[in-house]
Amino acid sequence: MNANHPIYDQLIKQHLKILKNLQYESGMFAASKKGLNTGYDKAWLRDNFYECLAFEVLGDFETVKKTYRAILDIFKKHELKIDYAISKKPEHTHQYIHPRYNPITFEEYWEEWGNKQNDSIGCVLFKIGELEKREPGLIVKNENDRRVIQKLVWYLSTLQYWQDPDSGMWEEDQELHASSVGACLAGLKMARQVKGVVVPDELIKKGEAVLHQILPRESERKFVDLSLLSLIWPYEITNEEETTAILENVEYHLLRQHGVIRYKGDKYYNKNPDGWSEEAEWTFGLSWLAIIFDKLGEEEKAAHFLELAKKTVTRDGLIPELYFSNSKKYNDNTPLGWSESLFIVALHEVNNNLLK
């Protein structure tokens, strides 16, 4: 960790402790606090990807390694299911690789929860490939690991991910989502960093063509969506024009006082009984914007969004999933590991640049 301002150091330590408390002995992180009756005590592949980013930026690769070794063990446990999905494109959502698991036993949860989420596979491939590029052998230890990673590539190929509607990052209605196509594309590109894993050029080219055709939209139904920020960072898969359009749309249409709404008309924790116009404000959107503007070299905007993110911390020192529209009331998914992690990354990255 670089030398930081004492206040920032203290904030990072406080929120890192909160985040660490969400990790099970298995290595998997709960989405929120353990024992929570909302279901967020379970482990999502996507949430684990985002929760590990804080440890990675702070140089704690032992924690990162433990989580990704656990994820590989999950795939090995369900390898027969993956084999079946490779041999024949799934016809039902339960035949897809599930996005969430029991963090202790690694068993699937069978209730319907928008289980068709292609981006959850893309993000895992992306990070394993990126970590292997950084340090070969950090995650991938043997042929068994390479075998299951290769099968994830063939799985996305069988799905024809570039034209496969899924439930996306928010686990809702099935559409062809730019954020899902982009996650799979980024994952396949980075999977080439894993020694022995083959990713045909065709899988890359088809994904690129479709992604740039959809952008800057998220889908046919959604003009703009918070999930599009993932394509700018961490995937870094948008061009300059797309990046500018996405950020302008998110700031203009989705930015609120205590966070960023996911999309217009979002009914999840919508304060309006009719489910319209009072969309919940997601806290990690502010940290996400701070990180992105920092990466783009726009230091003033990065610092501005970091200050807004700091204001989302509750009196108990926790960061919730969301605040109700135009309200200081937050939901029960507090702390949200994803929010805690992006806040840590924003604190670390923005502060380091300010000290340069």
- Output the pTM of the full model: 0.96
Q: CA dist 32 to 103, 117, 321, 336, Å?
A: 12, 20, 9, 5
Shared domain check, 204 and 286? no
Sign of the dihedral defined by the CA atoms of residues 306, 185, 75, 143, in that order: negative
- Among 180, 199, 222, give the residue marking a domain's end: 222
Per-residue pLDDT tens digits for 251-304? 999 999 999 999 999 999 999 988 789 999 999 999 999 999 999 999 999 999
**pLDDT tens, 37-61?**
899 999 999 999 999 999 999 999 9
Per-chain mean pLDDT for the chain: 95
CATH number of the domain where residue 160 is located: 1.50.10.10
Give exposure, 302-338, as e/b (b: 16+ Cβ within 10 Å).
bbbbbebbbebbeeeebbbbbbbbeeeebbebbbbbb
Mean pLDDT of 213-223: 98
The residue segments making up the domain with residue 131 are 42-222
**Co-location of 203 and 82 in the same domain:** yes
Q: Which of 222, 244, 266 is the last residue of a domain?
A: 222
The reply to whether 314 falls in a domain is: yes
Task: Assess contact for 86 and 151: CB atoms under 8 A.
Answer: yes
Tell me if 229 is assigned to some domain: no
In a domain, 121, yes or no: yes
Domain assignment present for residue 32? The answer is no
For the packed helices 284-295 and 337-354, what is the interaxial angle rounded to 10 degrees?
30
pLDDT in tens, 173-203: 999 999 999 999 999 999 999 999 999 999 9
